[in-house]
Structure 1
Amino acid sequence: MLAQSPIIAFTILILVIFTVPPIFERFRLPGLVGLLVAGVVLGQNGLNLLNSESETIKLLSEIGKVYLMFVAGLEIDLEQFRKTRNRSIGFGTLTFLVPLITGIFIGRLFNFSWNASVLIGSLLASHTLLAYPIVSRLGVVTNEAVTVTIGATIFTDTGALLVLAICVGIHAGEFTALSLVTLLAGLAIYSIVVLFGFDWLGKEFFRRSGDEQGNQFLFILLALFIASVGAQVIGVEKIVGAFLAGLAVNDVLGRSPVREKVEFVGSVLFIPCFFVDMGLLIDIPAFVKTLSSVWLTLAIVVGLIGSKFVAAFLAKLLYRYNNAELLTMWSLSLPQVAATLAATLVAYKTFNSAGERLINEGVLNSVIVLMLVTAIIGPIITSRFATTLTVPQANLATNKLSSWWQNSMGEVEEQTPTPSPFTVVVPIYNPKTQRYLIEMAALLARHESGRIVPLVIAVGRVHMDDPQLNAALSQCRQRLEGALEISQEFGVEASPAVRIDDDVALGISRTSREENANLVVMGWSRNTGLRARLFGNVIDSVFWSSHCPVAVTRLLNSPTKIQRILVPVGNFTPQTIGAVRFAQILADVNQAQVVLLHVCDRRTPQAQVSKFESQLSEIASQSKLHVNTSIKTIVNDDIARVIIREAEAFDLVVMRSTRYRTAGGLAVSEVTTEVIKELNCSIVLLGEPHS
C-alpha cells in the first residue's frame, strides 16, 4: 500500500529531501550522495517503500532530470564565455575529445559495441562546475584559467548531449546514413530555433510583462517543457532540449529574482527527486558484483581522472599557464554530476528492438562510483590550489564614499565633476528603527559633504481619494518630520520624499535613480525563509533593481557610538575590498578602529597565510584615511563560528551579501546566512547592483 499510494510516496520523498542532505553535509559529503543512499535504502533492496516504476516517482524523476539539465544550461556564464571565447573553445575541445577517446578505448577494451563505447566516451567528456562556489568565494573567478574552464562547460556539455542523441537514435532502431543526416539536420534546425527563438521571445515577453514575476516564472517553465517536448518530436532525448532551453533563456533571466525562483523550485524539489530515483535504480547485488569485478569501474574512474588531467596539461602548454592554474582547471573539470548522470540514466533506459539496453548495469554502477569519487575529490583539489591563483587588483586608494564603489568595480571615474552632491536615500518605515537609520545616513553624507533623502512609500490604491491612502500619507509626513529633525542635529541637508507606488522595492529603486543617489541605506527585514525564497523580500528586490550600492543595516545602538568595526575578509574580490573601504570610511567618522578578520582552514600552508596577510596589509594601508586598521588571522575550519565568537567584542560587523550555487542547482550553505542569524551586534550588509 505504501509503495502504491502517490500521496504517501510523495510524503516520503519530501521527508528524505528535507532531512538527509543536511546530515551528509555535516560529514562534509555532498548532499546528493545522501539522496542516492536514501534511494538505495528505500528501494527494492532495502525497505521497499518506494518503487522506481510507480507513476509518482517516474513523473517527479523525469521533471527533475530535465530541470537538472535546464539549470546546468542556465548556470553557464555566457558573459565569462564571451570574454575568453577562443581559449574556452580550445580547452573545451581538449577536455571533450581526450576523455571521449579514452572512453571509447575503455568501451572497446571491455567488449562493448562501437555505439556503446562512443556513448561511454561522451559520459566522460562533460563536466559539472561543482566547485564554482569555491573559486567564487576565493575571489579568483576573474583569473583567466578559471574563466576559460567555466566557458569550456558550454562546449563539453553541448557536445556530450549531441553524441548522446546520436547514440540513442542509432541504438533505438534501424539507422542508416540518411537517417543520421536527417537527425543531424533536424537537430541543427531545432537548436537554432530554440537558442535564438526562445531568446527573442523571452526578451519580448519580459519587456512587455514588466514586473509580473509570476507570469515570467510560468513563461520560463513553459519554455523548458516546450523545448523538451520539441526534442522528443524530432527524435532526440528531452534533456538535450532542456539544456538548450537553459542556454536560450540565460541572457533573458540574467540575475533577476525570477531566476532565483526558477532555481529554487528545482533545487529543493525536482532535482533531489531525480537523485533519489537514481538510488532506487541501484541493484545492490549487481552493484556489489560490479565492484567485485573492479576492473571496469577502475578503468572508468582512472580514465576520467587521467584524461581530464591530460587535457588540462595540454591547455597549460598551449596557453602558458602555471602549475596552480593547471591543477585548478583539472579539478574544476573533474566532477561528473549533472549531464553525466542524466545522460547515463537515459542510456540505461534505452532499449533496442531486441530488448537490449544501450549500457548495462555495470556501466551505470561505475558511473555512480565515478560521480561519488569526482564530486568529493574535485572540490577538495580546487580548494587546495585555487587559493594560490592571482587576479589583477583594482586600485582602491580612496578616501571618498562617492568613488570607492566605481573603483571597486574596476570602472574609470568620469573626468567631469558630477552635477549633484553625494546623495544617500533612506527608506523609512518603522518608527522604532528610524532614528538610527537616519543617523547612519547623516554620518556618511556629512563625511562626503552631501545630502540625505528620507523616503517614505505609501502603497497605492485604485482611487487616489481612498481614506486608507490619505491616512497612510498622513503617517508618512509624520515620519518625515522626525527625519528632518534628526538631520538638522547632524547639520546635514535633507530632501524628504513621499512616493505612492504599488511595489515598495521598485519605489525605493526608482526614487534612488531619480535622485541620482550614490547609496541606499535600508533597515533590516525579517521576511526570510520559504516565503521570502519563493516570492522574495524588499531587500532582495532592491539589491536586484538598484543602480547603486545598498547598505542593509541592523543597528542595535546609535551609529555615533560605534568604536570597533569587524570586517570578515575571505578573498580579494573588488567588492570585498570595497567593503573594507566602506568600514574605514565609517570608522573615520567616529575615529573608530577597524579589524580585518581572515579565517583559514587547518590545511592552508603557513606561507600562503603569510602571503594573504601581507596582501591584506597592503590593501588596508592604501586608504588615504588615518584609520586604525589591524589584521587578525585565525586558523579554524568553522568560519561562521569564529566570526560569531570574535564579533562579541565589536560594535559593528560589515559583510557582503553573496549567494553561491552549484551548477547542478543544489544550494550551497553560505557563511553569511549562518553568521547573521546569531550575531548579537549591529550589522551592515553591503550589496552591489545585480547581486
Structure 2
Amino acid sequence: MELQSLVLALEPTNQVLGNEPIVSFAILLVVILVVPILFERLRLPGLVGLVFSGVVLGPSGWNVFQPDSPTINLLSDIGIVYLMFIAGLEVDLEQFRRQKSRSFGFASFTFFIPLAFGTLIGQIFGFSGNASLLIGSMFASYTLLAYPLINRLGIVKNQAISVTIGATIFTNIGALLVLSLCIAVHAKQFSYWGLITLFNSLIIYLIVVLVGFDWAGKEFFRRSGDDEGNQFLFVLLCIFLAAVGAQLIGVEKIVGAFLAGLAVNGVLASGPVKEKVMFVGSVLFIPIFFVHLGSLINLPAANNFSTLKLTLFIVIGLLLCKFLAAFLAKLVYRYNWQEMLMMWSLSLPQVGATLAATLVGYRAELLPIWVLNSVVSLMLVTSTVGPLITNRLAAGLASSSVEQHATTTPPYQNKEKKHSNFTIVVPIYNPQTQQYLIEMAALLARQENGKIIPLAIATAAAHMDAPQLEVSLQRSERLLSKATAQSQVLSVEAEPLLRIDDAFGQGISRAAREQKANLIVMGWGKRTGLRARLFGNVIDSVLWASHCPVAVTRLVESPRKIQRILVPVENLITPSLHPVQFAYALAQANQAQVTVLNVCDRRTSSSKIASRRSQLGLLVSKLALPNPPEVQIIAHENAAQAILQAARLYDLVVLPFIRNRTSPGGLAISDVTTQLARQLTCSIVMLGEPERNPTVALPTAVSNTTAVIGNVVI
C-alpha cells in the first residue's frame, strides 16, 4: 500500500516532467556532451553514438523522446538546415575553380552511376518510379568526413583528392534538385506548366541567393567592420531567409540552406565569424538532428527480413557503384591505384545530404520507415568504413608526396645572405612572462644582427580623454620601459612602440604587418571557459588575421637554458618542416641539439621504418643546415603517447599548430597537437601558418624578419 501510494504521488510529477520541454532539452544536452566522447574512446564516430542515443531514448527504447514533439522537431529542423548550410560552407571554391573540369567529370561518374544503381534497387523492391529515383539520388551525394585527416597530412593538394573535394558541389546540388523534383511529383504539383514555373522560379532564386547574398554579405561585412556579433546574426539570417525562400517557390528548405552556404562561402572565407557559425551548429543543433533521427528508427521494422535485405542491397550497391565511379575516373584521368582508392574512400560516407533527403522523403510519406532504417544503417557503415580506409591510404600517399618533394629544391631554402633588418616585435602585457619572451626574441635577433620592438597595446575607449585610456597608457609605458631595459641587458637593440587600438589581437596583427614581420610568437593564452571557446581570444584573433606564421609559446624556463629540442613531424610533407627551421634557429643561439621525430604505426615493418627514416633525413638535408638535426622514427600504436614519452628527455618541444576543419556534424578527427599541448610539462612552441600564405619563410637561414608576440592572457 505504501509503495502504491508513493507511485500515485509521483505520477503528477512524472507527467509534468514528461510534458516539460526544458526537461527534454536538458537530457539532449547531457547526451550531446557525454555520448560522443564515450563512442570516440571506443574508436567509433561520435555521430554513431548520437543516433544510438536516439534509438535508446526514443519510442523503440525508453520512450523518453517523442519524435513528434514540437520542441524536438523545431530543434531538429534547425539542425538539418544547419547541416546543409555547413555542407555548402565547407565546399572549397578555390580548389573547385582549379579543377572544375575534372571535378565535373568525376561528379558525373559518382552521381549518375549511383543514381542508376539506387533507382534499380528501388524497382527491385517494388517502389514506385518516383520513390526509386529518390533512393537513387540519396546514393549520389557524399560527405567529406575524412577531410580533417587528409588536411592534417598535407595531401589536400593532390589532384585526385582536389577533384573529389570539388565534385561535392555538383553531387550535392544534383541530389537536392532530384529530391525537390520527387517531392513535387509526389505532392501532385507536377505538370508541364508547373515544371516550367518551377524551373523559372528556381533560376531567379539561384541568382538572388548566389549573387545577391554574396553581394549583400560583402557590403554588410565591410560596413560592420569588426562587429562579429552582428556579422554572426547576418549569416544566420541568410541561412533561414534562403530556407524560407526555397519553400516559397516549392523547393525543399535544405536546398536553400546549401545554396546559402555556397553564397556566403567567399564572404566568410576562413575568418573567426565562420568559426563561430560552424561552432554553434556542430556543437548544438546538428547533434540534436542526429539524436532525433535515431528516435525515428523503428527497431521492430529494422528486424524485418525485407529491411535487412534492403539494407544489404543498399550497402553493397553503394560500395560497388562508388568504386566503379572512382575506377572510371582512374581510366579517364590516368590516376594510379592509390589515388583511385582514395577517391573511392572519400566518396563513401553518406551523412549530410543523404540523411537530410531521406528524412524529407520520410516526412513527405514518399519513403516508408524501413527505408529510413536502411539508410541510417548505410550511414553508420559508410561513416565508419570510409574514414578508416582513407586513414590507411593517406600514409602511403603522403610518403609518395615526400619522394616527389625530396627530388626538388625545397621552397624554404634561403639562398640569400643574412639581412640586418631582422625585426622582432614583442607585445608586452603580462609582466611575469615578458622576461622569457624577450630572451627568446634576443636569441633570434642576435643570429641576424637585428632588433626587437617591444609593443604595448592600449585598448581604445569611446573618447581619447577617457580616464580608463589614460590609466592604460601609463601602464603600457611602464611595461615598455621595463622591456627596453631587459633588452639592453641582453645586448640587443630595442625600439619600443606604444599603440592604441580597438583590441589586443587586431593591434598585434596590424603592428606586425606594419613592421613587415614574417613570424609571430605568442605567449600562452587562456583557452578554457565558455567565452574563450565560443568567442575566441587574442591568440585566435591573431591566428586568423596574421599575414605571417604564428608561434604560440609556453616557456617554463629561460630560453637560454634550452639544450635539447624535440620536433615531432606528424606527416612527411615539406611544409611540416617549418618547425624544424624554427627549432634550428633557436638551437644555433644556444648550441643546442635538435631531434626530428616521426611516429609510425606499431605494425610497420623494419624495412619501411628504414625507408621513412631515409625519406625524412633526405627532406631535412634539403634545408641545407650546417649541422643537420638528428632523425628518429618510433613505431607506436599511439602517436601522442610516443611523443609524450620521448619529450621527457627534452627542454622544448616545437609542434605544428593545425586548426581542424569542422566537418558537417562537428565530426572532426582529433589533432595530436591538441593532446600534446594539454599534457606536455616542458616548454612548448606551437607554430602555425597563415591561411593565405603557407610558405612564408622563417628565421635563421630562412628569412629576414620575425615577430615574437608577448604572453597575452585575457
Using structure 2 for the length normalisation, give the TM-score.
0.91
Identity of aligned residues (%): 58
Q: What CA distance in whole angstroms lies between the structure 2 residues aligned with 1:336 and 1:397?
A: 39
Residue 489 of structure 1 and its aligned partner are, at CA, apart by 2.9
Q: Given residue 377 of structure 1, which amino acid in structure 2 is its aligned partner? A: V
Structure 1 match to 2:367? 359
Give the distance between the partners of 2:418 and 2:691, measured in 1 at CA: 23
What is the alpha-carbon distance in structure 2 between the residues aligned to residue 395 and residue 469 of structure 1?
54
Which 5+ residue runs of structure 2 have no aligned equivalent?
A: 1-14, 693-714
* C-alpha distance in structure 1 between counterparts of 2:299 and 2:253, whole Å: 29
Once the two structures are superposed, the pairs formed by residues 238-637 of structure 1 within 5 Å of their partners are 238-290=253-305, 294-350=308-364, 357-389=365-397, 390-391=400-401, 407-408=411-412, 421-604=421-604, 607-627=607-627, 629-637=629-637
Are the aligned partners of 1:296 and 1:366 in contact in 2 as well (CA < 8 Å)?
yes
**Cα separation, 2, equivalents of 1:419 and 1:605:** 46
- Aligned match of 1:155 in 170, 181, 188? 170
Query: Which amino acid letter does the alignment assign opposite residue 426 of structure 1?
Result: V
Moved more, 389-398 or 107-116: 389-398
CA contact (8 A) 1:17 1:272 kept: yes
2:236 matched to 1:221? yes
Secondary structure class of the residue paired with 2:629: strand
Equivalent residues of 1:115, 1:167 under 8 A apart = yes
- Corresponding position: 1:680 with 2:681: yes
Q: Describe the superposition over 1:229-249 as per-residue Cα deviations: whole angstroms up to 9, x where unpaired.
A: 000000011000000000111
Please show how residues 20-31 of structure 1 align to structure 2 within 5 Å. Answer: 20-31=35-46
Q: Secondary structure at the match of 2:595?
A: strand
Q: CA deviation at 1:22?
A: 0.4
- 1:22-61 correspondence to structure 2 within 5 Å: 22-61=37-76
One-letter identity of the residue aligned with 1:520: I
Instruction: Give the Cα–Cα distance (whole angstroms) in 1 for the partners of residues 664 and 609 of structure 2.
Output: 32
Q: Which residue of 2 aligns with 1:231?
A: 246
Name the stretch that deviates more: 178-187 or 449-458: 178-187
Aligned partners of 1:630, 1:656: CA distance in 2, in Å?
18
Q: How does 1:65-76 map to 2 (within 5 A)?
A: 65-76=80-91
User: For 1:202 and 1:542, how far apart are their aligned partners in 2?
Assistant: 23
The answer to whether the Cα contact below 8 Å between 1:331 and 1:379 also exists between their aligned partners in 2 is yes
Deviation at 1:600, TM superposition (A): 2.0
Q: Secondary structure at the match of 1:634?
A: strand
How many residues align? The count is 673
Q: CA deviation at 1:167?
A: 0.5
SS across alignment from 1:142: coil
Matched, 1:137 2:138: no
Displacement of 1:19 in angstroms is 0.6
C-alpha displacement at 1:335, in angstroms? 0.4
Shift of 1:507: 0.6
> Which position in structure 1 is the counterpart of 2:697?
none
TM-superposed deviation, 1:491: 2.7
Tell me the CA shift for residue 214 of structure 1: 0.3
- AA partner of residue 391 (structure 1): S
Amino acid at match of 1:690: E
**Shift in Å, 1:547:** 1.3
SS in 1 for 2:453: strand
Distance 1:173 1:391, change over 3 A: same
CA distance in 1, matches of 2:357, 2:82: 13
Query: What is the deviation of 1:414?
Result: 12
Between the aligned partners of 1:386 and 1:180, the Cα distance in structure 2 is 45
State the Cα distance separating 1:267 from its structure 2 match. Answer: 0.7
CA contact (8 A) 2:527 2:533 kept: no
Partner residue in 2 for 1:401: none
CA distance in 1, matches of 2:452, 2:336: 50
**Residue 422 and residue 380 in structure 1: after superposition, are their counterparts in 2 closer, same or farther (change >3 A)?**
same
Query: In the TM superposition, what is the alpha-carbon distance from 1:475 to its structure 2 partner?
Result: 2.0
Per-residue CA deviations over 1:48-90 (Å, capped at 9, x if unaligned) read 1111111110010000000000001101111111111111111
| Deviates most, 592-601 or 274-283 | 592-601
Corresponding residue for residue 648 of structure 2: 648
Larger displacement relative to structure 2 (317-326 or 659-668): 659-668
Q: Which residue of 2 aligns with 1:670?
A: 671
**Alignment partners' CA distance in 2, 1:434 and 1:397:** 41
CA 676–396 in structure 1, closer or farther in 2 if over 3 Å, else same? farther
Q: Quick one: structure 1 residues 526 and 138, their matched pair in 2 at CA, closer, same or farther if it must change by over 3 Å?
A: same
1:102-121 correspondence to structure 2 within 5 Å: 102-121=117-136
Q: Indicate if the aligned counterparts of 1:587 and 1:627 stay in contact, CA closer than 8 A.
A: no
Shift of 1:518: 2.4
Q: Deviations over 1:251-272 (max 9, x none)?
A: 1101000000001000110000
Question: Does structure 1 residue 182 correspond to structure 2 residue 183?
Answer: no
SS at match of 1:391: helix
Determine if contact 1:65/1:274 at 8 Å carries over to the other structure: yes
Displacement of 1:191? 1.4
Q: Answer whether contact 1:588 1:626 (CA < 8 A) is retained.
A: no
Superposed displacement of residue 603, structure 1: 4.8
Match of 2:594, SS? strand
Shift of 1:626: 2.6
CA separation in 1, counterparts of 2:418 and 2:237?
A: 46
**CA distance in 2: counterparts of 1:395 and 1:546, whole angstroms:** 29
Structure 1 stretch displaced more, 231-240 or 182-191: 182-191
Residues 413-446 of structure 1: CA distance to partner in whole angstroms, max 9, x if unpaired?
999x999812111111111101110111111122
Instruction: Give the Å deviation of 1:604.
Output: 4.5
Contact 2:117–2:321 at 8 Å: present in 1 too? yes
The gaps in structure 1 that reach 5 residues or longer are 351-356, 399-403
Distance 2:34 2:93 in 1: 35
Distance in 1 of aligned mates of 2:226 and 2:425: 22
- Cα contact 2:301–2:307 (8 A) shared by 1: no
Query: Secondary structure at the residue paired with 1:612?
Result: helix
State the Cα distance separating 1:340 from its structure 2 match: 0.4
- Structure 1 residues 557 and 565, CA gap change in structure 2 (3 angstroms): same
Tell me how far 1:293 sits from its aligned partner.
5.1
Secondary structure of 2:190 counterpart: coil
Aligned to 1:122: 137
Letter in 2 for 1:652: L
Residue equivalent to 1:354: none
**Contact persistence 1:4–1:54 (CA under 8 A):** no
Counterparts in 2 of 1:366 and 1:603: CA distance versus 1, 3 Å: farther
Is 1:79 matched with 2:130? Answer: no
Distance 1:643 1:500 in 2: 42
Greater CA drift, 41-50 or 616-625: 616-625
Whole-Å separation in 1 of the counterparts to 2:103 and 2:608: 29
Q: CA shift at 1:661, angstroms?
A: 3.4
In 1, Cα distance between the equivalents of 2:201 and 2:408?
57
Distance across 2 between alignment mates of 1:589 and 1:667: 42
Contact 2:302 2:373 in 1 (8 A): yes
Amino acid at match of 2:396: T
- Distance in structure 2 (CA, Å) of the matches to 1:271 and 1:195: 24
**Does the CA-based 8 Å contact 1:384-1:604 persist in structure 2?**
no
Cα distance between partner residues in 1 of 2:56 and 2:603? 35
Provide the alpha-carbon RMSD of the alignment.
2.1
Given that residues 660 and 667 in structure 1 are in contact (C-alpha distance below 8 angstroms), is that contact kept between their aligned partners in structure 2?
no
Aligned partners of 1:606 and 1:143: how far apart in 2? 28
Please state how far the C-alpha of 1:111 moved relative to its aligned partner: 1.3
